[in-house]
Structure 1
Amino acid sequence: MSQAKNWAKKIAEECLSCGECSDSCRILTELNESPATIASRGPESHEAYGCALCGRCEAVCSLGLSPFRMFEQRRIKAVKNGEIDLHEYQYLFPDRAVTVMSLFKEFYNIDYSDLNCSHPADTAFLPGCTMFTYSPKLTRQVYETLTELYENPLLFDNCCGIPMYHIGLPERGDKIKAELREKVRQLGVKRLVIACPNCFYQFSNEDSFKDVEIITVYEALLEKFDSHQSSEVYSIHDSCPDRFEGIFAKQVREALDRAGYQRVEMKHHGRESVCCGSSGQLGHFRPEWATEHEVQNLDEAKAAGADSLLAYCHACVLNFGNIADSSIKVRHALNVLLNFEENYDEVKIEAAKMFEGEAGEARYYRLFEDPE
């Protein structure tokens, strides 16, 4: 995460107050102030946590200014000043033993111990926390397909640390990345195949990983993807971390086109894609805005003439799956390319079942044991 530059100072001095960045930005629309005005007075902590940190503001800014970085820096300050109760959000922290994801895996007996999780290998597959937790069948399908290409690949359960950066704890995010770097070294990994865009950009832009070949799962599996199987029309939601380099966006579209699938573009895509609602942990700080993002994307897919909305970020897929009454079907891009169906409408219901009854209540309180 960028912290060296004082973004508030830069924005206060250079922002033209043109209003271009306010389009599809809930926090700027609510505040009804230009980034220059906000920067000059200094953003409040509650405003910082209302930003999705999605980067769209920077993508559309003619000067390349980055209001979201200003809010990101304000979150770090909020944590240091004790303006946010970390205990309230510790269920999100991947460096803790008990999280919502760990409880989900425990509750549904999700176990990968039959796969190679610890023996040295040249290649490792990093699905990302969300896919690893909530789509174990898809995780296995990808892993098994990779075994056709690479000898006994490793399966990594690591997080890239993005939740820590989003909350305002960059030191803990750095520690999580360093732990994976050491794991890669100890196991002799020379190639890291990554499914999650957040993970990909966290590690591909890290100097300490320069000696490791880092590729997307779409690059690794290109020759294994299925050809055209139906008359469905697909739209692709582009995830926030891919906004600037567009590596996933390009590879997924090329894979679909090569296989003969029909696709249409949404109004907002590529650099101007609208966040799914999960970036910056927005669903935890402003859930009503997260829902608005979900609905906007599904509506745009429908308006484009799509039957299904595809995403290549698993968190995006789950967010869109929350809108169960949508006429647009939600799929992960890998579901289509590997011809592997899943029902994402059910994940939210499955997660809620963990906290039902007395046992569920006890399970819930485990999330808040041993406060920060």
Structure 2
Amino acid sequence: MVGLVAKEWKKEIAENCLGCGECAESCRILTKLAESPVDIATRGVDSAEAYGCALCGKCEAVCSLGLSPFRMFEQRRVEAVKKGEIDLNEYQYLFPDRKVTVMSIFRDYYGIDYSELNSSTPAETAFLPGCTMLTYSPKLTKKVYSTLAQKYENPLFFIDCCGIPMYHIGLPERGDKLKASLRDRAQQLGVKRLVVACPNCYYQFTKEAAFQDLEIITVYEALQAQFITSEGDAIYAIHDSCPDRFVGVYAKQVREALDCKGFQRVEMQHYGRDSVCCGSSGQLGHFRPEWSTEHEVQNIEEAKEAGADTLLAYCHACVLNFGNITDSKIKVRHVLNTLLGFGENYDEVKGKAAAMFEGEAGYELYLQLFAD
């Protein structure tokens, strides 16, 4: 979000976009509107259109001029919130700065508990799995923590949020507060090294001056000596997540880890900077679920066409999205499942989430999501 309010992105697009149409490839909103970014910028972005953009950044990645059309959609979301054009009450179940969210209810409902992990004793190293992993993959989360504990003494376990859902909804100030809260806690507990599993979290922190005195490393860098060697003949394709698109830290480390341990892999048609969003970026699944599904299907199909039998992702939200396609013959796994030899079935998560809200008791739970 750096520079989001200070810079007028719509004006930049209107003055510089050539209207070549290259950015529309694999972009649902631009394909649907059938207009170039310069035309959209000139007439003005509608608030509904703003929430139809996945904010995935691919438009910038492919633009020959390095323009960022998605930024004008992102900026329009902030404007929509300020003008009251979106009813925030409808989406407050997503807000990680609230006590009750879909994720908190899921953890409570299924008895997910991390009280045995160190959350308060000062330590130089802290592990941040990210909201999605710690909610929907508690066993994998604890496996990663226990593996880290073999290398780092009594590491801290952080359940904090990096704030990305708030930025995506159009509430950057509340996102900033979440990041500041995590930074303060790290300082109070003497943390010098933050091990991060989620690429969204990683890039939220590495770009902020307030985090520059912390050593921020990915879980793949921290655990490279603990990964297992391949013992099968499975063929893997890797989906590269949107926040990693430009710098590629996760993409590089994951591929190096898999290659080093002898795992067979192939590349999909779209990967790296050109990767197609899984459908979860920008909260697209909540605003345009049909487009989110199209993203999921496209990635699954590309993995098949590449000759893979397993699709790996290093963003847990991506893993869950691909797990929605239950009729696919392609297995979906988190990269850490493979490198740590820890199996999980991700197509079960959606059903478990829906089961919470069944019946009268489920309806009462549902109402809690919207209580003030």
- Asked if Structure 1 and Structure 2 have the same fold, meaning a TM-score greater than 0.5 normalized by the shorter chain, the answer is yes
CA deviation after TM superposition for structure 1 residue 101, in Å:
0.2
The CA deviation string for residues 17-59 of structure 1, in whole angstroms up to 9 with x for no partner, is: 0100000000000100000000011100000000000000000
Give the length in aligned residue pairs: 370
Q: Kindly provide the CA deviation profile for residues 252-304 of structure 1, in whole angstroms up to 9, marking residues without a partner as x.
A: 00000000000000000000100000000000000000000000000000000
1:323 is aligned, of 325, 330, 334, to 325
5 Å-filtered alignment, 1:1-372, equals 1=1, 2-3=3-4, 4-370=6-372
Cα distance in structure 2, aligned partners of 1:206 and 1:10? 24
Distance across 2 between alignment mates of 1:363 and 1:119:
34
Deviation at 1:160, TM superposition (A): 0.4
One-letter code aligned to 2:322: F
**2:195 partner SS:** strand
Counterparts of 1:336 and 1:243, CA distance in 2: 22
Q: Percent of counterpart pairs with the same letter?
A: 74
Residue type of the partner of 1:133? Answer: T
Letter in 1 for 2:302: E
Following TM superposition, by how much is the alpha carbon of 1:247 offset from its aligned partner in structure 2, in angstroms? 0.2
**How far off its partner does 1:130 sit?**
0.1
Secondary structure of residue in 2 paired with 1:192: strand
User: Could you tell me how far apart the structure 1 residues matched to 2:268 and 2:179 are?
Assistant: 34
**CA distance in structure 2 between the aligned counterparts of 1:320 and 1:117, rounded to whole angstroms:** 32
Instruction: Tell me the distance in 2 between the aligned counterparts of 1:290 and 1:43.
Output: 21
Q: Distance between the aligned counterparts of 2:202 and 2:191, measured in 1?
A: 16
User: What is the TM-score of this pair, normalised by structure 1?
Assistant: 0.99
* 1:5 shift after superposition: 1.4
Q: 2:363 corresponds to which letter in structure 1?
A: E
Distance in 2, Cα, partners of 1:346 & 1:172:
32
Question: Could you tell me how far apart the structure 1 residues matched to 2:86 and 2:120 are?
Answer: 38
Residue segments in structure 1 that go unaligned for 5+ positions in a row: none
Q: Structure 2: how far apart are the matches of 1:230 and 1:155?
A: 33
SS of aligned partner of 1:324: coil
Query: Which whole-Å CA distance do the structure 2 matches of 1:195 and 1:81 have between them?
Result: 36
For 1:235-262, what per-residue CA distance to the aligned partner results, in whole angstroms no more than 9, with x for missing partners? 0000000000000000000000000000
Which runs of 4 or more aligned residues in structure 1 lie more than 3 Å from their structure 2 counterparts after TM superposition? Answer: none
Whole-angstrom CA distance in 2 between matches of 1:171 and 1:256: 39
What TM-score does the superposition give when structure 2 sets the normalisation length? 0.99
Deviation of 1:325 after TM superposition, in Å, equals 0.5
Question: Secondary structure of 2:270's match?
Answer: coil
- Give distance in 2, aligned partners of 1:139 and 1:204: 22
**Displacement of 1:13:** 0.4
User: SS at 1:231's partner residue?
Assistant: coil
Q: CA deviation at 1:60?
A: 0.2
> d(CA) in 2 for partners of 1:325 and 1:183?
44
In structure 2, what residue type is equivalent to 1:157?
I
User: 1-side partners of 2:59 and 2:19: how far apart?
Assistant: 12
Using the alignment, how far apart are the partners of 1:347 and 1:154 within structure 2?
27
Deviation at 1:205, TM superposition (A): 1.0
Matched position secondary structure for 2:238: strand
CA RMSD of aligned residues (A): 0.4
Distance 1:95 1:64 in 2: 34
Shift of 1:355: 0.3
Question: Deviation at 1:88?
Answer: 0.1
Equivalent residue letter for 1:360 = G
Amino acid across the alignment from 1:330? V
Structure 2 residue matching 1:364: 3-state secondary structure: helix
d(CA) in 2 for partners of 1:307, 1:226: 19
Rounded to whole Å, the distance in 1 between the matches of 2:88 and 2:221 is: 38
**SS of residue in 2 equivalent to 1:235:** strand
Task: Give, in whole Å, the separation in 2 of the partners of 1:236 and 1:286.
Answer: 25
